[in-house]
Every structure is written in C-alpha cells, then in structure tokens.
Amino acid sequence: MLRDGTFVAVKVLSANSRQGVEEFLTELNAIADIKHENLVTLVGCCAEGSHRILVYNYLENNSLQQTLLGSMRDSIQFNWEARVKIAIGVARGLAFLHEEIRPHIIHRDIKASNILLDKDLTPKIADFGLARLLPPNATHVSTRVAGTLGYLAPEYAIRGQVTKKADIYGFGVLLLEIVCGRCNTNTKLNREDQFLLEKTWALYEQEHLHEIIDVDIDDELDVEEACKFLKIALLCTQDAMGRRPHMSTVLRMLTGCRNVSMQKITRPAMITDFAELMSSSTPKEKKTGSNTLTSFTTTEMTDPSSSSDTHTQSSM
C-alpha cells in the first residue's frame, strides 16, 4: 500500500537480465501513457543498480491462470457470461495493441498468467510493456524465443519470427482454455488428452466439439456460442500465418458482428508437430538457408502445467 492508501502490485524482474537502465527506461517510456480498459496500468518503476521493478495497479482477482486453471479455481464461479466477458476483453486489448496505437505492439507471451482480473472480472493484459514494439512498415521482427510451451506459434518457436499472428495463435490457445476450463498442456493425462488443442481438433473432426466444454459451467451455458468460440480458437491457431484472422476480425466474430468461416478451418499447428524438431536440435542455432532454426533449453520455455504462476501480485 502506498502512502496515499493506494494498493499496487509489484513485480521484481530477474536480476540476471542483461537489459541496461537506458534500454529498460526507453522501453517503459514507450508504453507509459498507453491506457485501455483491458490493459494493466503502469504506476511506476525502479531501475537502480541491478534492480528492475515494475509497479502496476492492483487487481483483486489475480490471474486467469490461478483463478480459472490453477490452485484458486474454487474461489470464483466462472459462469458463461463471465467467460465471454473475459474472452472479448482480452481480444479488445490485443486489437488495441496491434492496430490502434503507433508503433504497434506485439506482446509475444499471451497466456493465462498474463491475464489479470479486477474485482468485476474485467480482464487486463499484463506485461505488454516488456513486449516488442513493431517498427513502422515491418511485418515481423526476429528475436530470441522466450515464450511458454503450448502457446507458441510454429513460426516463432522454430524460426524466432515474431508477428502479430504469433499473438493471435497464443490468443487462440487461451480462448480454448477459457471455454474448456483446463490448461493447454497437462502431461498427467493420457496421451490423447494431454494437449488441449489436439483434443479440440479431434472432437471438431468428429463433430463432437461440445464434449470439450468445461462441465463446471452452470446452467446458463450457451452451447452454440461456446462451440463458436472453439471454432474461432481453431481459426486463430492455423498452421499458416495467413490463415489466421487479424485481431479486429477475431473481435467481430466473438461479438457476433461477423460469421465464422467454416471453410477456413483446417488442421491447426499442433505442439507435437514441432516439439520433436526443437528438442532434437543440439546447437543453439542451426543456419538453414536464410532461416534460423532455434533450439531450446529447459530454461527458455515454461510448461504451464508444471510451473508456478510468475505473476502473483502482492501489496507494497
């Protein structure tokens, strides 16, 4: 709690960060004035010595990872209306970052632990301030991969190519989690059920998509709308970037302003498609023509089913 009685959330960044003070402050200055209902508000920061600290507005209901998918699941009843509100709110926030501000911002790590909830369950996207700013006229940026297992688009995981469409892939996986009420990866389950996207696609092909919807949703569940959301998630996770819709289009589909094109839904990019390729690559980077094939160590990716939430909030 600050001296004026305001509660804030404090995030201490890794002391191993190689980011200098000037780079850190320049990046924060670029997003300090960005305000949107579905983005967290940066209250302040600290850059002293090796310390890198961010101060955000405090959000009472923690992260979606903890309250819907994790240890605090029983603390909140996520009825269908609440899930629709969260899905649409996240889409609005991402559309704002991608299309409404200059320069555009690519988040790079859209996942449940980066979606925080206020007292009314309004979603707020966190950590967009640590994302890549997309230079004018650039279609993508290439960078060291630093994402979360299960949310990574194939072009990002394999080549380090970051585009808005990589964020949209992550949103698609998140949308599945919101509707299904389970983490995208759970290695404790049987092989055919471990990966949520693979299971959803299998049920879509069998025309049994309704079977994957969270059974804990109360009687107000709109099965038709829930299945529509799952189809939108499949569109967002298409293998080819060009087949994934822009975020503003996703938002229109979620709100019913645009129909979901069933013809465009093909097999999505599955985690098992490229996981073996990544793990079998022993050098850090293998040059293949003009592309860079990036391999991973266990410290570079996070498995959401086995790691703790890194965005737990605390008062100051």
Q: Could you tell me the CATH number of the domain that includes residue 119? A: 1.10.510.10
Q: Using one digit for the tens of pLDDT, what is the confidence trace for 193-227?
A: 889 999 999 999 999 999 999 999 977 899 999 99
CATH number of the domain encompassing residue 22: 3.30.200.20
**SS3 of residue 24 by DSSP:** helix
Identify whether 109 is a catalytic site residue.
Answer: yes
Confidence of residue 115 (pLDDT cuts 50, 70, 90): very high
Q: Is the pLDDT of residue 305 over 60?
A: no
Q: Given this model, what pLDDT does residue 150 score? A: 76
**SS3 of residue 32 by DSSP:** coil
Domain containing 277 equals: 60-294
**SS3 of residue 293 by DSSP:** strand
Indicate whether this model's pTM tops 0.85.
no
d(CA 136, CA 12): 31
In a domain, 244, yes or no: yes
Domains: count for the chain: 2
For CA atoms 201, 205, 210, 215, the dihedral sign is negative
In a domain, 299, yes or no: no
180 and 267 in a single domain? The answer is yes
In a domain, 282, yes or no: yes
> How many C-beta atoms surround the C-beta of residue 191 within 10 A?
9
108 and 153 in a single domain? The answer is yes
Question: Per-residue pLDDT averaged across 13-35, rounded?
Answer: 75
81 and 101 in a single domain? The answer is yes
Q: Is the pLDDT of residue 87 over 70?
A: yes
Confidence of residue 298 (pLDDT cuts 50, 70, 90): very low
- CA distances to 109, 130, 162, 169, 170 from 292, rounded to whole Å, are 20, 23, 13, 20, 21
24 and 152 in a single domain? The answer is no
Please pick, among 109, 127, 167, 309, the residue that the annotation labels catalytic.
Answer: 109
Q: Is the pLDDT of residue 101 over 70?
A: yes
Q: How many CA atoms lie within 13 A of 247 on its CB side?
A: 28
112 and 238 in a single domain? The answer is yes
Average pLDDT score, the chain: 81
One-letter amino acid of 195: F
One-letter amino acid of 224: E
d(CA 186, CA 201): 16
For CA atoms 270, 272, 275, 277, the dihedral sign is negative
265 and 155 in a single domain? The answer is yes
Strand 132-133, strand 8-12: pairing: unpaired
Question: Per-residue pLDDT averaged across 47-59, rounded?
Answer: 87
43 and 163 in a single domain? The answer is no
